A and B are shown apart, each in its own frame.
Chain A
Amino acid sequence: MEDRRLIKEIQQGHKELLNVVVEKYYKDIYGFCAYLSGNGEDAYDLAQETFLKFIRYVDNYQYRNLKGYLLTIARNVCMDYFRKEKNNAKNMTNIVDANPEEKDYLLTEGEAAFEQAEKRMWLRAQLQTLPAPQREAMVLYYYGELKIREIADIMSCSVPTAKSRIRQGTEKLRKRCKEAGYEG
């Protein structure tokens, strides 16, 4: 079902359709939270909190772009998480040590899975070293696949500012990818 119709039906009282929204976007929201927080474990809770907030405020929501709206909520949830946990770049550089469960998972999986996970955690760690606005813009652009105008809306900044954040972030990441040998 199309998002616009989905929201209309929900607001008309078909609350069971909220499950459809969750089913449709939970992976996107999880990935976004994982990148933004730098913590794959906490990302499940953050994604859950995002959907709980969405359910709470769905009556007031005026449809524009559902994914963008969910990402905006997720962003705010992540901001609260940072405030609470004081989870800054310093303690996120060694992700493997911060996530023992993930470490066990890596040890039990095969070499390919290990490489993929290593790459994933490397990217998370690299993202954590970027300034927060650049990190958010990069995740929204490359992972959320949103348009620059939508990113500017979510981040409450101008389109040129969003563009510049993405450009700077892309340059830094490209350089680091080259150094690490992740060139595709």
Chain B
Amino acid sequence: MRDKRLKKLFREQESGFEMDKWQERMPDIATAIWEKQIVHRPGKADIFWTQLCYIEKSYWMAQFLILTFTVTIFAVYNGGDNLWLNLKTLLALISCVAAFVGMGGILGLNRMFSYHMEELMSTFYFNIGQMASMRLAVYSAVDLLFLVAVIAGVTLGTRISVLIAAVYLLVPFLLSNLCYFTVFSLVKGKAKGAAFAASAVFSSIIGAAVSGIPVCYIYDEMMTIVTILFIAVLTLLAEIKYVLRSLRQEAV
């Protein structure tokens, strides 16, 4: 609570102001305003929207294909009525799909820095780090939406809880992203594309294999799995931070 007497005392300062003296300073301010050239600097929301508009069609196509494949699996599973596709196989397939979800994003990011795009952006004084961050944010938002939709689908279509469904999807998704970012920062040249594909296949195999082992995703071990996932998320964030810092220093 402000001391009223002190407040009053402080406010009496205003009476010391002399307009004439201030008017003497005004021409300099008026000149500065006259000479000022306003440079438009887009806000974060503008940059996000621009990056969203410039995402390649191939990315949306890839995501659409993955989504179509997932919906088809659910349609075939048909609430457990299909003899050829039981719950275990469904989860293994979903785990495989999750490994490919992040691939479109990393390929898009890779494209931003290929074919001399990096030099071109530097020439035009674009803030590469900021653009890459925003592009990553867009990809991550799309990937997360996708994962949430699939988790909801798994939960509604089977008797599995949300947590278990999330684990089945997040393990291969995080593993694949860890591989993608490692490849992105370590592998150079044309080998990158092949390395991304190999990472996706490797992660999907691991995801499918782990989901096929009944003891792996049981409730008793859930705390351990969640801890591992948490560590994986932290590692991924550290990796992304490293990649973005490298981009700012134009090292990639």
A binding-site residues for B, Cβ under 8 Å:
10-13, 15-16, 18-19, 22, 26-27, 30-31, 34-35, 40-41, 44-45, 47-48, 51-52, 55-56, 58-60, 62, 105, 113, 116-117, 119-120, 123, 139, 141-143, 145, 170, 173-174, 177, 182-184
Complex Cα–Cα for A11 and B24 (A): 27
Complex Cα–Cα for A40 and B17 (A): 8
A120 touches B13 (CB 8 A): yes
Taking CB atoms, residues of chain B closer than 8 Å to A15 are: 33, 36, 38
A-B interface, 8 closest residue pairs, ranked by CB to CB distance from nearest: A184-B5, A142-B10, A48-B25, A143-B10, A31-B13, A18-B33, A55-B32, A59-B39
B interface, over-half SS: helix
Could you write out 21 A-B pairs with CB less than 8 Å apart? A11-B41, A18-B33, A30-B17, A30-B22, A31-B17, A34-B16, A47-B25, A56-B32, A59-B39, A59-B40, A62-B43, A113-B15, A120-B15, A123-B9, A123-B12, A142-B3, A142-B6, A143-B13, A145-B7, A174-B5, A183-B5
The residues in B between 35 and 53 inclusive whose CB is less than 8 angstroms from any CB of A are 36, 38-41, 43
Query: What is the 8 Å Cβ interface bit string for chain B, positions 51-93, against chain A (1 contact, 0 not)?
Result: 0000000000000000000000000000000000000000000
**Given A13-B38, A59-B38, does the pair A48, B9 have CB atoms closer than 8 Å?**
no
B41 touches A59 (CB 8 A): yes
B159 is an interface residue with CB less than 8 A from chain A: no
A52 touches B29 (CB 8 A): yes
B3 touches A119 (CB 8 A): no
Q: Which of B4, B15, B41 contacts A184 (CB 8 A)?
A: B4
B40 touches A12 (CB 8 A): yes
**Given A44-B21, A44-B25, A170-B6, does the pair A143, B11 have CB atoms closer than 8 Å?**
yes
Residue of B nearest to A120 (CB): B16
B29 touches A55 (CB 8 A): yes
- How many residues of B sit at the interface, in one of the four size bands? 20 to 34
A119 touches B41 (CB 8 A): no
**Given A120-B15, A120-B16, does the pair A52, B28 have CB atoms closer than 8 Å?**
yes
B116 is an interface residue with CB less than 8 A from chain A: no
Complex Cα–Cα for A155 and B41 (A): 27
Complex Cα–Cα for A55 and B4 (A): 35
B16 touches A48 (CB 8 A): no
Taking CB atoms, residues of chain B closer than 8 Å to A142 are: 2-3, 6-7, 9-10
Query: What is the 8 Å Cβ interface bit string for chain B, positions 181-220, against chain A (1 contact, 0 not)?
Result: 0000000000000000000000000000000000000000
B14 is an interface residue with CB less than 8 A from chain A: yes
Taking CB atoms, residues of chain B closer than 8 Å to A51 are: 29, 32
Complex Cα–Cα for A51 and B39 (A): 18
B5 touches A116 (CB 8 A): no
Taking CB atoms, residues of chain B closer than 8 Å to A120 are: 12-13, 15-16
Taking CB atoms, residues of chain B closer than 8 Å to A183 are: 5
Complex Cα–Cα for A123 and B12 (A): 10
Complex Cα–Cα for A177 and B13 (A): 16
Closest Cβ of chain B to A169, distance in Å, is 9
A16 touches B33 (CB 8 A): yes
Taking CB atoms, residues of chain A closer than 8 Å to B3 are: 142, 170, 174
